[in-house]
Amino acid sequence: MGWRFQLKRTRMLWDLGLLLPALVFGGLLHPELTGELDDCFCDVESIDVFNNFKVFPRIKKLTEKDYFRYYRVNLKRPCPFWPDDGHCSIKDCHVEPCPESKIPVGIKSGNYNKYSQVANLMADMTECEQANELGAINSTLSNQSKEAFADWARHDDAQDHFCELDDETSPDAEYVDLLLNPERYTGYKGPPAWRVWNSIYEENCFKPRSVYRPLNPLAPSRGDDNGEGFYKWLEGLCLEKRVFYRLISGLHSSINIHLCGDHLLDEGWGRSVWGPDLQEFRRRFDMGETKGEGTRRLKNLYFLFLIELRALYKVVPYFERAIVGLYTGNSREDRATKELLLELLSEIKAFPMHFDEKSMFAGHKMEAKTLKEEFRLHFKNISRIMDCVGCSKCRLWGKLQIQGLGTALKILFSEKEIQKLPEHSPSKGFQLTRQEIVALINAFGR
């Protein structure tokens, strides 16, 4: 099949909503992408079928719900590692914050409503009545509930997060409507963008300086070995460090595929045309143009999918509790959102080929603990690098997806705490903030 016909077919499927932005775009246009994945007992074809028919239709509906479409983020934090390049002046880099009047009242109210028993009593109030009542919730809670919330807040502050979290109370933190600020190609590229990825790969992926990778991570390795020297080193790493690299590579692939899938094709008189760009996809993932690395990059995307899928499987008991509501202030909408989430989680539970994380950090207790902490700190450092991204829209989606993956890792390393969750009261052992839940679902949706 000629690539021009393939591109026309791709655009038709995309317009019909039948082409999924990441996994299908990769599989449809990359015939070498097939067979088993490394480090797990699963294959590309099984993931494709499961994602296309079970996951994607539900996750798409879920991310359109009010609870998941509004994300609070600080896009003005300075880069902690090098002098700020200044924000991208390209108009498509701009992020439009959401006016306060558009944010559902239950989301604006903050963290008192993570557990929605009190909030659900207010379902039939007017918006103004809700706003007044929400401000008084803290004074109307029972002493027992106040103590539980206080314990929960203290534990939440003390948890070992995998990400450098934004201060949601900062005056620079704003709500963003993710549906109105989609992840797409913005024109942000070149040395400023390469420096971000270079810092991530060179300084945080457990790679010795003696193993060369180019400044531009899209470029193939130098030399005549088609990068095999690098991959021999990678395969020689312990499982945990290899998983770390594959997660970052998979995230990089996901971001690149979305830029290819929603690329600026034409900029006419006041009207921009966006759509899938096959040539850009080939440049980043074609076997010939990447000296064989394209398939590896895409398989790492599938690996990332499996890791986040596994985290959602592990966190099912947290969301199955009646006390956990996805509160926006609209009781009918909130019930429908919770039902849709549980429906998605039910499908995920039925998937037969989950990644088995029990083989990670399973060696000597002290060595495993040290490695786990090193793993966490490296990932946390990458979350700080996101504040060095010069394009506001790229920074938004980078921060969200890093927080989503960090939340997935937090879940995978909290299995015992999740198993001990009480049914009818807040837990001191494991919590997810609304920001973490929104980031987790949207990152998986990506």
Task: Identify whether the C-beta of residue 16 lies closer than 8 Å to the C-beta of residue 282.
Answer: no
- Does residue 284 have a known ligand-binding role? yes
Gap between the Cα atoms of 57 and 61, Å rounded: 7
- Does residue 186 have a known ligand-binding role? yes
Task: Identify whether the C-beta of residue 308 lies closer than 8 Å to the C-beta of residue 439.
Answer: no
Measure Cα distances from 186 to 28, 69, 193, 357, 388 in Å.
24, 21, 12, 36, 16
Token pair in block for residue 170: 């900062």
Give the DSSP H/E element, type plus range, for residue 372. Answer: helix 365-385
- Does residue 407 have a known ligand-binding role? no
In 168-307, at which residue ranges do the beta strands (DSSP E only) sit? 173-177, 263-267, 272-275
Taking alpha carbons only, the member of 199, 201, 223, 393 closest to residue 297 is 201
Gap between the Cα atoms of 133 and 234, Å rounded: 56
Task: Identify whether the C-beta of residue 74 lies closer than 8 Å to the C-beta of residue 167.
Answer: yes
Token pair in block for residue 316: 């099912």
Report residue 115 CA to chain centroid gap.
24
149: exposed, middle or buried (C-beta count within 10 Å: 0-12, 13-18, 19+)? middle
For β-strands 263-267 and 272-275, DSSP reports them as antiparallel
- Does residue 197 have a known ligand-binding role? yes
Gap between the Cα atoms of 308 and 310, Å rounded: 5
CA-only gyration radius of the chain, Å = 22
Please identify every residue annotated as catalytic.
Answer: 391, 394
For β-strands 173-177 and 70-74, DSSP reports them as antiparallel
| Binding-site sequence positions | 184, 186, 197, 249, 252, 284
| Binding-site sequence positions for FAD | 184, 186, 197, 249, 252, 284
